[in-house]
Structure 1
Amino acid sequence: MRFAQTLALAAALSALAAGSAFAQSDDSGKDWSKVVIGTEGAYPPFNFLDASGELKGFDVDIAKALCDQMKVTCTFVTQDWDGMIPALQNGNFDAILASMSITPEREKQIDFTNKYYQTPPAIAVPKDSDIKEATDEALKGKQIGAQVSTTHAQAAEALFPDAEVRQYPTAEEYKLDIENGRLDAVMDDVVVLTEWVKSDEGQCCKILGTLPADPKIYGKGVGVGLRKGSDKLKQMFNDAIVAIREDGTYKTIQDKYFDFDVYGK
Structure 2
Amino acid sequence: MVAATSVALLTGCSTGSSEAEKTSTADAKVAPPTVLKAGTLTVCTGDTPPNIFYDENNELQGVEIDLAKALASELGLTTKLEEYAFSGLIPAMQAKQCDVIMGSLYIKPEREKIANFVPYLYSGTGVGVSKKNPGKITGFDESLCGAKVVAITGATGGNGAEELSKKCAADGKKPVELTLVDEGTAAVQQVINGQTEAFIDTSEIMSFYEKQSKGEFRMVGEPSDKIRIGAATLKQNTALNTALDDAFKTLVDSGEYRKVLDKWGVASNDITKTS
Q: Aligned to 2:250, what secondary structure does the other structure show?
A: helix
* Counterpart Cα distance in 2 of 1:64 and 1:128: 40
The alpha carbon displacement at 1:203 in A equals 2.2
Q: Give the AA of the match of 2:128.
A: A
* Counterpart Cα distance in 1 of 2:204 and 2:83: 21
* Counterpart Cα distance in 2 of 1:74 and 1:136: 40
Moved more, 167-176 or 121-130: 121-130
Stretches of 4+ aligned residues off by more than 6 angstroms: none
Are the counterparts in 1 of residues 124 and 202 from structure 2 also a CA contact under 8 Å?
yes
Percent identity between the two aligned chains: 25
Q: Give the AA of the match of 1:207.
A: M
Q: Give the AA of the match of 2:45.
A: T
Aligned counterparts, 1:57-68, within 5 A:
57-68=62-73
Are the counterparts in 2 of residues 45 and 192 from structure 1 also a CA contact under 8 Å?
yes
Are the counterparts in 2 of residues 28 and 231 from structure 1 also a CA contact under 8 Å?
no
C-alpha RMSD over aligned residues: 2.1
Q: Give the AA of the match of 1:119.
A: S
What residue in structure 2 maps to residue 238 of structure 1?
A: 245
User: Does residue 192 of the first structure (1) align with residue 192 of the second (2)?
Assistant: no
5+ residue gaps, structure 1: 1-10, 12-26
* Counterpart Cα distance in 2 of 1:173 and 1:146: 10
Are the counterparts in 2 of residues 28 and 232 from structure 1 also a CA contact under 8 Å?
no
Task: From 31, 38, 42, give the equivalent of 2:44.
Answer: 38
What residue in structure 2 maps to residue 79 of structure 1?
A: 84
* Counterpart Cα distance in 1 of 2:232 and 2:266: 26
Aligned counterparts, 1:10-29, within 5 A:
none
Are the counterparts in 1 of residues 87 and 154 from structure 2 also a CA contact under 8 Å?
yes
Report the TM-score, using the length of structure 2 for normalisation: 0.78
What residue in structure 1 maps to residue 130 of structure 2?
A: 126
User: Does residue 179 of the first structure (1) align with residue 183 of the second (2)?
Assistant: no
Aligned counterparts, 1:99-248, within 5 A:
99-113=104-118, 115-129=119-133, 130-134=135-139, 136-161=141-166, 162-199=175-212, 201=213, 203-213=215-225, 221-248=228-255
Report the TM-score, using the length of structure 1 for normalisation: 0.81
Q: How many residues align?
A: 232
Can you list the C-alpha shifts for 1:147-186, whole angstroms capped at 9, x where unaligned?
1111111012212442212111111111110111111111
Are the counterparts in 2 of residues 28 and 230 from structure 1 also a CA contact under 8 Å?
no
